[in-house]
Amino acid sequence: MVAKKSIKFLTILGIVFSSLTTFAKSGETSEKGGQVSTPEQINDYIKHHLADSHDFALFSYTNDAGERKHVGFPLPVILWTSNGLTTFMSSEFHHNDDGHVLVEKNGMKFAKIHSKIYELEAGASAVAFDDAHHATNAARVLDFSITKSVFGMLFAGFLMFLGFRSLAKGYKKGAIPTGVGRVLEPLVLYVRDEIARPNIGEKKYKKFMPYLLTVFFFIWILNLLGLTPLGFNVTGQIAVTVCLALFTLVIYLSNGTKDFWAHTLWMPGVPVILRPILAVIELVGFVLIKPFSLLVRLFANITAGHFVVMSLIALMITLKNQFGAVGSTGISLVLALFISVIEILVAFLQAFIFTMLSSLFIGMAVEEHEHH
Amino acid sequence: MEQLLNDFSPGLFAMQMLILLILLFLLAKFAWKPIIAALNDREEGIQNALDAAEDAKKEMENLQADNQKLLKEARAERETMLKEARDIKNKMIEDAKDEAKAESSKLVAAAQASIEAEKKAAIADLKSQVANLSIAIAEKVVREELSNKDKQVKLVESMLGEATLN
């Protein structure tokens, strides 16, 4: 068993390292210097980090020969273009992010500008920009790439599946879980007893448990992954939070009871004239405002957290002139450490709040009213 | 807002939806359902065990109460039995005493009666013997007295002298 595990681990390690080295070799171009020193550069760097990325960069450095080296591994790019499906590895962009490196596939040219992939119009040989730095002769394509965020989600999903599968299997051996299950079980119980049961109600909570548990652990793990130096920012991607909020919306709308719709669309006990107005307010509340609050809260909290942590780390550079290298590093270390601790709390809190509010909205929709 | 919309990647959205759906399906089937079922089973098991323990405790208490009752009853019974025995004993002693008294008085009476009878018989016997003896003596005396005339006269005279007419 142990031998099997270690072989598996070594295989994965081997694959990672081999791809790392090939990537390092291929990434020898672009960005001369590459140091980030001015506030503008820091700002750009943070923005770049907050956006999704098409390759998995761990770190980069400038070698003795003055070449910029990137260590990480490329991820597959999958595009739905005017010509159908096109795939290639992200390493073909050579870490270029301003549209200067063009990748030619199936007779189409692609450029990557600010982490977005554009397809150049037929005949164009370079991306033309207007004054606002928008590409004029290229259009965005549908990008189903395994980006860093998608990779992060797959990783989180993999972790969840491993962990909870082992917990589920553990129950076959005995009622008390062992190993990692001992940590996971209280969390499952927490979601059930503190989030689902009080908000949805004893009768109906069971049906929604799989969704709530999945979302809670998914968000929490991704939030925590975002705090690692791997630099994931999955729950800070608006597309991801939109998707999560949409799931909750669909679930509570599709499970709304007759009572729920009656109270939403034709509120009893209220003058008839007011009822249509109330219906509009309620409907907007349930269909737009509630999911919007869910998606913006998660997105904004995580994005802000990343922004603050990175800005505090950047103090090391911006305060160097005033406090010297050691002083600025010390200040940045203390502050970043402090905020990171808070961010660990926020990582849990946002997962909790998302799940909590989801179950609250579901609870509102499935509630059986007393008939007056 | 424009920035936000620009950041929104439909591809990422689609991938996220796909991943979440697959994850939801896989976890629900292979993890959540068995986990929740196992947790429920365990909780029910614990609840049942607690209930059973509570029941056993109650039963034990009932049993103890029964025992106590039985013990009390037994004690009361013993008490009454002892009392009865004591009463019987006392009565027996009393009876025996009475009987003995009656018997003894009877005996005494019988003895007295027999003594009386004996006495009477003895007196009667004595009387007849004395009579016989006096007759015999009288016969001898008379025979002797009457053997000579003087003496006969003397006797009559003495006797007459004795028998003074008063």
* Residue range B108-151, pLDDT digits in tens: 999 999 999 999 999 999 899 888 888 888 888 777 767 777 77
Structure tokens at A151: 């990779």
Residues of A in contact with B13 (CB under 8 A): 239-240, 242-243
Among B residues 20-59, those touching chain A with beta carbons less than 8 Å apart:
20, 22-24, 26-28, 30-36, 38-39, 41-42, 45
Q: Is the predicted pLDDT of residue A223 greater than 70, yes or no?
A: yes
Shortest CA distance from B38: residue in chain A = A171
* Residue range A262-288, pLDDT digits in tens: 888 887 877 888 888 888 998 898 899
Q: Which pLDDT score, from 0 to 100, does residue A26 have? A: 38
Q: DSSP label at A121? A: P
Which has the higher per-residue pLDDT, B33 or A96?
Answer: B33
Q: How confident is the model at residue A31 (pLDDT cuts 50, 70, 90)?
A: very low
Q: Is the predicted pLDDT of residue A24 greater than 70, yes or no?
A: no
In a mutational test of the A interface, the residue from B2, B8, B20 whose CB has the highest number of chain A CBs within 10 Å is B20
Cut 0.95: pTM above it: no
Mean pLDDT of all residues belonging to chain A: 84
Q: Which pLDDT score, from 0 to 100, does residue A169 have? A: 87
CB contact under 8 A, A240 and B12: yes
- Distance, in angstroms, between B57 CA and closest chain A CA? 25
Q: Which pLDDT score, from 0 to 100, does residue B1 have? A: 67
Q: Is the predicted pLDDT of residue A28 greater than 50, yes or no?
A: no
Structure tokens at A13: 């390690």
Q: With an 8 Å Cβ cutoff, is A206 touching chain B?
A: yes
Which residues of chain B register pLDDT less than 70? Answer: 1, 145, 164-166
Per the listing, tokens 């394509």 go with: A141
CB contact under 8 A, A153 and B10: no
Q: With an 8 Å Cβ cutoff, is B3 touching chain A?
A: no
Continuous segment of H or E residues that includes residue B43: helix B33-145
Closest CA to A23 of A113, A121, A90, A105: A90
Q: How confident is the model at residue A203 (pLDDT cuts 50, 70, 90)?
A: confident
Q: Is the predicted pLDDT of residue A12 greater than 80, yes or no?
A: no
Residues of A in contact with B47 (CB under 8 A): none
CB contact under 8 A, A167 and B13: no
Average confidence (pLDDT) over A166-188: 86
Q: How confident is the model at residue A55 (pLDDT cuts 50, 70, 90)?
A: confident
Q: Which pLDDT score, from 0 to 100, does residue A115 have? A: 81
* Residue range A306-345, pLDDT digits in tens: 999 999 988 888 888 888 888 889 999 999 999 999 999 9
